Every structure is written in structure tokens, then in C-alpha cells.
Structure 1
């Protein structure tokens, strides 16, 4: 990787009009009062950074479930998947990844498979780090059927600032691990509902990289990971 590629990341097309709006406002602010213009320029750079879409090194071994989002693991607990996904009433292990407004917000498929269900539900815009955000907030969920017939749920959840969930995929579509499937604008959360009897290999507070960090491994019976902050 070249030095400039460390700092200059490609931007997802979804962000172009937002960057253009921020830039236009910055120009107006410069005309009004130069210090305000510099603030507008800073906001424009942040907007570009928010919509960055860097390449990721996706692990290729079968059976690895990777993080669908950049951010921090905020919850690991048993939870019943959203009813609209049709995954039943039994609790599954849910791993929640919270994204701040400084994280990359392009979401990636946690594992290869076919999208057998996509369901959008309008809702509130509570702080996405709260447990009840999974039930009350606007969300868009996918059910991915894997090659072995098992399924996995992944849910995009709008947050306190987020006001738009974007999906790039359709029901029936085949996806590869790490493939881009959507984004959420301006702060949010992703929930992954693991298949039965699959233990998470991440810990609370762990930093996640979408498409790279392994959440779980279908080919191991290792217990859930325990970690300590030091």
C-alpha cells in the first residue's frame, strides 16, 4: 500500500451528493465570514471521511463469520431475532457492533450464502448503543442461508443521528463473505444473530473491522471468547 492510500480512501457513491452539499455550504460560509468557512471545510472533510469505502482483506476459509460493520462490540447476549425475519421465537446469540459517526458505515455480508429474507421496519431513533434499540428503532434485516442449510440474521439499526438505512441487495441474491450489502447514514448499529450452538469468538469492547474481524467459526466447538481490558 502506498503512503497516500493510508489516508485517502475511496468514497462510496452514496456520499457524493452529501459532500457536494457540505462543500457548497462551506463556500457560502467563506463568503459570509472566513472563520465560519474553515469550519464548513472541516465538516466537508468529515463528510467525505464518513462515506469512505476502503478495500478489506476478507478471510477466505469456509465457515468464518466476519463482522458486518466497523465499530465496537457493545452487546453479546441471547436474544429473540426480530419477528419479521421469521427466525422463530427461540433466543439466539446476538453480537451487536456499535458504529460511531467516525466509523466507516459501509456494511458487509458476514458470511457467504443466499438472501432468503429481507425485511424493513420503520421505528424510532434511540441511541443505537442501547439494548432496546434492537426492538424500537428503524431497522432493515437480512436472513442469509448458508451452504450447509443453516441461517444467520443480520440487522441494520438506525441510531440517534442516523436517518436513513440503505440496502444494496435483494431477496434471492447470492452473496460472498465480505461483500457490501448496505450502509447507514450517520451513526448506528449492526446486530448479528448467530446459528444455534455457535459461540462468538469476540468480546465486549473489542474493536471490529467490517469484512475482516472474525465473529465466529462454524468449524470449531471452542467456547465463547473471554477477554479482559488492560
Structure 2
């Protein structure tokens, strides 16, 4: 299993801290064998939790200019028409939101092949990711992909109550490839897509998604 670069240092530090605490428990404090093994079990679960969170599975994406694929693993929590005010200046768009729990892979992938037309980072609050205002008030990034002339989609990374750090590896005027990694959000979080009205949506609320593979929508 490949570990994402965002978690390697944290996992090393956590491992050393856990080993140090066990060593201290073994040599500095008198505890029963049952307590010692219970502590080992608990610390192993803690380490495994963080280990699975930073996993980075290899995904094969079948490139298709007519499809919008899932930018993240998770569950679809919103499918609705809504105005988008930051970039599209109130123009109505189809919003599809994917919630990522701490158990999901948190790698974010380009949903389309195209040009990064717009990028902006917004510091903000840490409301729960499913909160209606998290899309406009939480720490977030907004990324606009120009697929071909006149066709644009917006993807928004949103931090949640536990996710206090958003990472991105793209910039404006950069050409990107569908399915390739563009960012990472630590712990529970959300990704919103804003698609042109009339786009055929292939997912529904409550459906699970696999980043880089699940087809979210079909473009005209």
C-alpha cells in the first residue's frame, strides 16, 4: 500500500511517539500485563487509523473528454441547481457535492482534462463539511477547469470541522489530465462540483463514489 506524501512525516512522528510511550510504560511505570497489552492494542488502532487515512491507492482512469469523473472518494450528499457566486457571478449551475469521511481516501483528482482557468485559496471557518454554509464560509479552494472553449466547470475543496489543512498541486494556466492528483484534504472534508445546467448527471444523492473512476456526469 502506497502512503501519500502528506502523511509520511506525521506517521513517522506518531510511530516514534507511540514507541516512546510504550517504552516509558514498560520501564518507568509498574503496570499489569493486561494493561500493557491493552495499551499496545489501543495504540495500534490509533496508528492504523492514521495509516489508512493517508493511503494512496493506484487508480486507472479511462480518459474521456465527454465525461466528468469523481474528484474524490466519498458519498454524494448534494445534487441540485444553485447559483454560483464566486466565479460564475450568480449564474445557475448544477452542484454535486461529495462528502469524505475520515475513512475515505482523501486524494483529490482532476475530474476532466483541460486548462486551469482560475484558482483561488480562501481562508475561513471550520463548520462541519455537510453544513449548507461550508461551501462559502469554510477554508476552501476554488478551481475552474476550461475543458474546451466556452465549457467550464468549478471544483471546490472544502475543509471540515476536523480537516484543518488543504493542499493543492496546481496553478492557473496549467494544463492537467483527467484522473491525475491535484490536491489532498486532511481528515473529514468535502468536494463540490459546479457543472453547466443541462449536463446529464449520472449519480444520485447517497451514492458512493470512487475518485478517478466514478462517472459523475456526461457533457454535451
TM over 0.5, shorter chain:
yes
| Contact in 1 for aligned 2:109/2:212 (Cα 8 Å) | yes
For residues 64 and 194 of structure 2, what CA distance do their matches in structure 1 show? 20
Unaligned runs of 5+ in 1: 1-8, 220-230
Which residue does the alignment assign to 2:32?
Answer: none
What are the Cα deviations for residues 47-92 of structure 1, in whole angstroms up to 9, with x where unaligned? Answer: 1211111111212232110010000001111222251xx2221121
Note the aligned Cα RMSD (angstroms).
1.3
Structure 2 unpaired stretches of 5+? 26-35
* Cα deviation, residue 148, structure 1: 4.1
Structure 2 CA distance for aligned equivalents of residues 16 and 82 of structure 1: 37
The farther-off stretch of 188-197 and 35-44 is: 35-44
Aligned to 2:122: 121
Query: Is the 1:26–1:38 Cα contact (8 Å) retained in structure 2?
Result: no
Please show how residues 1-230 of structure 1 align to structure 2 within 5 Å: 9-33=1-25, 34=36, 35-83=38-86, 86-219=87-220
Mapped to 2, the partners of 1:25 and 1:17 lie a distance apart of: 12
* Conserved? CA contact 2:85–2:91, under 8 Å: no
Q: CA deviation at 1:176?
A: 0.8
Greater Rg by CA: 2
SS in 1 for 2:212: coil
Give the CA deviation at 1:147. Answer: 2.2
Aligned length: 209
Distance 2:139 2:173 in 1: 23
Please state how far the C-alpha of 1:203 moved relative to its aligned partner: 0.4
After the TM superposition, which parts of structure 1 deviate over 6 Å for at least 4 consecutive aligned residues? none
- Cα distance in structure 1, aligned partners of 2:209 and 2:177: 19
SS at match of 1:52: coil
What does the per-residue CA deviation read over 1:138-187, in whole Å, with 9 as the maximum and x for residues that have no partner?
10110000024310000000001000000011111111111100010011
Report SS of the residue matched to 1:65. strand
SS of alignment partner, residue 190 of structure 2: strand
Q: Distance in 2 between matches of 1:199 and 1:79?
A: 16
Using the alignment, how far apart are the partners of 1:81 and 1:36 within structure 2? 49
Kindly indicate which of the two structures has a greater share of residues assigned to strand. 2
TM-score relative to the length of structure 1: 0.87
Q: Hey, what's the Cα distance between the residues in 2 that align with 1:23 and 1:187?
A: 22
1:91 and 1:138 map into 2 onto residues whose CA distance is 23
